[in-house]
Amino acid sequence: MPLKRILIWGGTALVVVSAGFLLIQLLPVDQPTNPPVVAEPAWDSPQTRALAKRACFDCHSNEVVYPWYSYVAPVKWLVLRDVNDGRRALNFSDWHPGGRANGNRAARAIANGQMPPTIYLPMHPSANLADAEQQQLINGLIASLK
């Protein structure tokens, strides 16, 4: 295939992909938002809250810090799905004592390596807790989330 034809096909593909990327930005999908904080757990210590805020609040609270890329489709769709799923499972900003979320369940998810998800850590390095911090968070969640 001659070089000229390769350049034409490559340029056409670039235009089509770019146009598609721009068009998906116009799809009517919810924007990242934070509802008001309703109630938080009775934290056993300020340290537990600080560790939870650092490692968990970006999916499990109404205090999510949305990075710039969370406003760009298709990444926006993934971020919104993860935050909505996280809030449904456990929301530190809409806490109801005696609800289905509890400290033992949260502690197990952390101890088993399910939380935070591996895919989350590269973009949120502050959530990567040292072993001692992780154990302190586990103990604090068990004590706080009753």
Give the residue ranges of the chain where pLDDT is below 70.
1, 7, 10, 20-21, 24, 27
What are the sequence ranges of the domains in the chain?
Answer: 1-30, 31-144
Q: What is the pTM of this model?
A: 0.79
Nearest to 136 by CA among 59, 55, 69, 57: 55
In this prediction, residue 37 carries a pLDDT of 96
What is the spatial distance between Cα 55 and Cα 35, in angstroms, rounded to a whole number? 20
Helix (H, G, I), strand (E, B) or coil at 39: strand
- CA 40 to chain CA centroid, Å, is 18
In this prediction, residue 124 carries a pLDDT of 84
In this prediction, residue 1 carries a pLDDT of 62
Asked if 91 and 60 count as a contact pair (C-beta separation under 8 A), the reply is: yes
Quick check: bond before 116 cis, omega within 30? yes
In this prediction, residue 78 carries a pLDDT of 87
Phi, psi of 98, rounded to the nearest 5 degrees: 80, 5
Beta bridge partners of 94: 39
In this prediction, residue 27 carries a pLDDT of 66
